[in-house]
Amino acid sequence: MIRPAFPASTKAKNKAHPAAPRIAGAAAILRHNWPQLSGAAAAAILLKSANKDMDGDGEPDFSGSSPVYGQGKLDLMEALSPDEEEDPLN
């Protein structure tokens, strides 16, 4: 019988989500472009700019938050292109 090196409960507790490095990198890029941007503001921009078109048909597949997809797919280009009337520092 082959047993895991760690008990299942230990594995589940210590596992980071695979998207975490991508999100952290995206936040770092935002803060590089706008050094005055707070961490909370960078997070808000990333959440607001997330792509909710999961099937690629050009239409959002959900609004708000999805139990499966969370806020959507990271869209760094959208995050780096704030709306004309929005100031990324506010």
Count of Cβ atoms closer than 10 Å to residue 85 Cβ: 5
Record the tokens describing residue 12, joined without a space. Answer: 């589940």
- Output the pTM of the full model: 0.72
Name the residue range of residue 30's domain: 21-52+68-80
How many structural domains compose the chain?
Answer: 1
Q: Is residue 58 part of a domain?
A: no
Question: Phi/psi of residue 73, each to 5°?
Answer: -85, 140
Q: Is residue 61 part of a domain?
A: no
Residues of the chain with pLDDT under 50: none
49 and 79 Cβ atoms separated by less than 8 Å = yes
What pLDDT is stored for residue 87 in this prediction?
58
Q: Is residue 9 part of a domain?
A: no
Q: Is residue 75 part of a domain?
A: yes
